[in-house]
Chain A
Amino acid sequence: MPAKLTGRPLIEVRQLKHIYRSGGEALKGIALTIDAGEMIAVVGRNGAGKTTLTKHFNGLLRPTTGTVLLDGQDTAKLPVAQLARTVGYVFQNPDHQIFHERLFDEIAFGPRNLGLRGDELTTRVDSALKAVDLTDYRDRDPGELSRGQRKRAALASVLAMETAVIILDEPTSGQDYQESEQIMAILQELNRRGHTIIFITHDMELVQEHACRVLLIDDGKLVIDSPPRELFRQEQALTSAGLRLPPTAELEQRLAAFGIHSDAGTVEALAASIARRSSQITARDSFKENCSGGAAACQ
């Protein structure tokens, strides 16, 4: 269900630090707020603290110091099972959760825990299965599914809980291009219907195409919190965080040095501005050739 708009931020993180029992300081003081209905990408190199941060949003990890408020309530004081009513979390590896012998039951596990029974349960599970294109496998053993399908099954098992917030840890890893697109389309649709989506990814093209806001985490700190287009202008920060611009953004920047400007971030827009520019050049060159004063006079 879409979150109720209360005016206050849905998630509020204040001076969050997390030190693992092994002694590693994974988060070194993070502050941010997330409003209902946002679509946020979390990026950064492996080990930067992306997963550690997002696991605080549903209480899987508790702050060492600082606070995380979910809809105004301190997550440190509530059990995960209760927070799970508001925040769904899809893990990176689907095999960490699949244990039923029938896909339907696997997807129904979360909603059942929330107390759903009967027709409503069936409806929810079936529509989640439909969303991830696994309706045909409804009564099959999830163990028979391919890895890509199991990944989507794990997504469906959280979708069926219809939480206001859905967090996904690398939702498209191990998926082919079509499957990735399909997953992102599902997330966009959910976002359109009012769900807050937070996804961790290494794929900068996904960020460019699907996120409205990016959190760049490096070495346990929130380095940049901005829309993707602004992030891409800070190439230095990206590089030092071990990331690279998506190809179209990089090409845009290179072309800007030649006076070709485009900022739509799509291949089509870039091709169009290059074509526009080259027709200008061709026109000028033909002028040059025809110029009676010769090339020297033109310069």
Chain B
Amino acid sequence: MSVSIEYIPTGSPVHRLHALTKLIFALAVLTISMLLSQPLPLLLLFFSLLGIAALASVSQEILSAVKGLLKVAFFLALLQVFFYPEGTVLFAPIPSLPGLSVTDQGIIFGISMALRMMVIVTSFLLFLTTTPARSTVLSLVEYLKVPYDYAFLFITALRFIPTFLEEVRLIGQAQEARAHDFSGGGPLARLKTIFPLALPLVMISLQRAERMAMAMETRGFGLPGRTYYRTEKPGAVDIMVIVALLSAVAAAVLLRF
């Protein structure tokens, strides 16, 4: 299963929102989904997320991720259905094990649980596909006062994922060209076949890190008084969306308690 969680630049209204707004959105959806316990409101919430995905022109990516999630959701629901003890027993597959009986509340709980998981994952996928990592990190540094070194660490890690995948591919090819067989035998044998891949990768990564550290130092990384070329300020729309999100959370809290 290859689910893309990369930023997809489509320039939609959703993309134009501030990173902070979208982060608050994902957290608000998370909170609301925790407060909702019935399948129907959760389903509505889920569909509204798909609506937002369409607005952001990332439906294709989100839907393919959702398809992958369905399997996980199904197993999650099944587990809950069988192990939820309360409610009226509808049927018991193994009579000697009363703990495994299926109840009406169990079914509802299981479906809700699965939907909740889908909602939470989808909302974060929406956040990731519509927000460049750089903007996220900058807003963390500027508004949430995360130290830049940590933010840089995070940004760099994200930035190097594709590079590492490319290295893995090349190393794999180089060893295959020397007649190395990666698909060898049992689990232990297979673990051994990984060495020719893993060791060059570690060496290359260390070299790269060292070179990068030097390149950064020569360009003055770590000097105090860092300024930013690009600063992004939340606009009026952002304020409105944030207020709406916070009221929605407040409403959900009030309805629940």
Contact = CB atoms under 8 A, between A and B. Distances in A.
A91 B174 contact: yes
Interface in B151-187: 167, 170-171, 173-181
Interface string B195-206: 110011001100
Contacts of A97: 171, 174-175, 178, 196, 200
Interface stretch (A7-15, A80-88, A242-250): A80-88
Interface residues of A, number: 27
Nearest to A92: B170
B207 A55 contact: no
Interface in B107-130: none
A40 to B, nearest CB: 18
A19 interface: no
A50 B173 CA distance: 16
A54 B7 CA distance: 33
A91 B203 contact: no
Interface string A54-79: 01001010000000000000000001
A158 interface: yes
Contacts of B196: 97, 99, 109
A95 B181 contact: no
B178 A110 contact: yes
A114 interface: yes
A81 B200 contact: no
B205 to A, nearest CB: 10
B179 A84 contact: yes
Nearest to A112: B179
Contact of A96 (B170, B179, B180, B181): B170
Contacts of A87: 177
Contacts of B200: 95-99
B170 A84 contact: no
Nearest to A84: B179
Contact of B177 (A58, A95, A143): A58
A244 B200 CA distance: 36
A161 interface: yes
A67 to B, nearest CB: 20
A177 B207 CA distance: 26
A91 B207 contact: no
A93 interface: yes
A96 B171 CA distance: 5
B170 A158 contact: no
Q: Quick one: which of B171, B174, B196 has the most chain A CB within 10 A? A: B174
A91 B167 contact: no
Given A95-B204, A96-B170, A60 B176 contact: yes
Contacts of A91: 170, 173-174, 177
Contacts of A80: 173, 176-177
A80 B204 CA distance: 24
A196 interface: no
Nearest to A158: B178
A201 interface: no
A37 B179 CA distance: 22
Interface string A156-179: 011001000000000000000000
Contacts of A114: 179
A143 B174 contact: no
B174 A84 contact: no
Nearest to B200: A99
Interface string A26-62: 0000000000000000000000000000010010100
B172 to A, nearest CB: 9
Interface string A89-132: 10101011111000000000110011000000000000000000
A212 B171 CA distance: 31
Contacts of B204: 95-96
Nearest to B181: A81
Contacts of A60: 173, 176-177
21 contacts: A60-B173, A60-B176, A81-B180, A84-B176, A88-B177, A93-B170, A96-B167, A96-B200, A97-B175, A97-B178, A97-B196, A98-B200, A98-B203, A99-B195, A109-B180, A110-B178, A110-B179, A113-B179, A113-B180, A113-B181, A114-B179
The 7 lowest CB-CB distance pairs between A and B, nearest first, are A113-B179, A99-B199, A110-B178, A89-B177, A84-B179, A97-B174, A80-B176
Interface of B: 167, 170-171, 173-181, 195-196, 199-200, 203-204, 207
Given A89-B174, A93-B170, A96-B170, 14 more contacts: A81-B181, A95-B200, A95-B207, A96-B171, A96-B174, A96-B200, A96-B204, A97-B171, A98-B203, A99-B199, A113-B181, A114-B179, A158-B177, A161-B178
